[in-house]
């Protein structure tokens, strides 16, 4: 059972995906963390992230390893635990530029497919192009949405001390960058089920997704 959960930032993808995976006994993969890890490595190694050619040339260098335990998804780069460093504002502000480079997407997508294929009991994979590009044959495809205001409020709550207005503006810019990039843009798959999380609690969203997955399981 492969479950693809896509959507823009602040819709609750990570919290929902981890909870669904834990409840259903599935593995979990945060693909956004992989792109953040690549961005962190680029920044740490002095790669000019405003230069797509420089990013492309370095895309094959870092060794990114993702854990798939929903209770504690680890991620390392060249053996270094980067679960904390990849969540900084510096990485957040640069990840769209790095992830837009085709060579980066090709490398990370290949890694994502290998992880999904190796998941013995199934996996929940969350990101922005899982149902459309990475795993188009996923058994269940969910596309989470929410109003920009709700998303900004959630993201500000996650990032302590961050201004709500600035967060709102950053999300709008991120949406535009992710939706307009040429390589695997953020998009809802034609056969994905859209869930608007604006007025829903996390538990309500989780219950909705779990029900959809269990219905699919029963129909197999």
Angle at 111 (CA atoms; ends 71, 139), nearest 5 degrees: 70
Amino acid 127: pLDDT = 94
Would you kindly state where each structural domain of the chain is located, as residue ranges? 2-214
- From first to last of its 220 residues, what are the pLDDT tens digits of the chain? 999 999 988 898 999 999 999 999 999 999 999 999 999 999 999 999 999 999 999 999 999 999 999 999 999 999 999 999 999 989 989 998 999 999 999 999 999 999 999 999 999 999 999 999 999 999 999 999 999 888 888 776 665 556 777 777 777 787 777 777 777 777 899 999 999 999 999 999 999 999 999 999 888 7
* pLDDT (0 to 100) of residue 165: 76
Please check whether the domain covering 2-214 is classified as CATH 3.30.70.20.
no
Distances from the Cα of 40 to the Cα of 29, 49, 86, 156, 163, angstroms: 18, 10, 6, 21, 23
Count of beta carbons in the 10 Å neighbourhood of residue 53: 10
Would you put residue 194 in left (φ > 0), alpha (ψ -120 to 50) or beta? beta
**Cα within 13 Å of Cα(175), Cβ side:** 18
Q: Is 45 strand, coil or helix?
A: coil
The whole-number pLDDT of residue 66 equals 97
Model confidence, pTM? 0.88
Give the list of residues 6+ apart from residue 45 with CB closer than 8 angstroms, or none. Answer: 58, 61
Q: How many CB atoms lie within 10 A of CB 72?
A: 9
């Amino acid at each position: 059972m492969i479950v693809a959960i896509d959507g823009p930032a602040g819709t609750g993808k990570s919290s929902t995906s981890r909870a669904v995976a834990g409840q259903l006994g599935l593995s979990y993969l945060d693909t956004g963390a992989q792109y953040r890890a690549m961005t962190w490595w680029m920044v740490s190694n002095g790669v000019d992230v405003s230069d797509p050619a420089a990013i492309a040339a370095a895309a094959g260098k870092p060794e990114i390893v993702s854990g798939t335990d929903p209770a504690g998804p680890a991620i390392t780069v060249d053996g270094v635990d980067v679960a904390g460093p990849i969540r900084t504002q510096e990485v957040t502000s640069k990840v769209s530029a790095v992830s837009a480079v085709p060579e980066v997407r090709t490398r990370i997508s290949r890694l994502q497919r290998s992880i999904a294929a190796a998941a013995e009991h199934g996996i929940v994979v969350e990101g922005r192009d899982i149902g459309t590009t990475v795993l188009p044959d996923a058994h269940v495809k969910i596309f989470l949405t929410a109003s920009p205001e709700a998303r900004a409020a959630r993201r500000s709550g996650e990032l302590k001390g961050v201004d709500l207005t600035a967060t709102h503006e950053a999300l709008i810019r991120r949406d535009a960058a992710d939706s307009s990039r040429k390589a695997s843009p953020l998009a809802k798959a034609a056969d994905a089920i859209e869930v608007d999380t604006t007025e829903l609690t996390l538990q309500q969203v989780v219950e909705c997704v779990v029900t959809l997955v269990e219905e699919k399981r029963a129909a197999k």
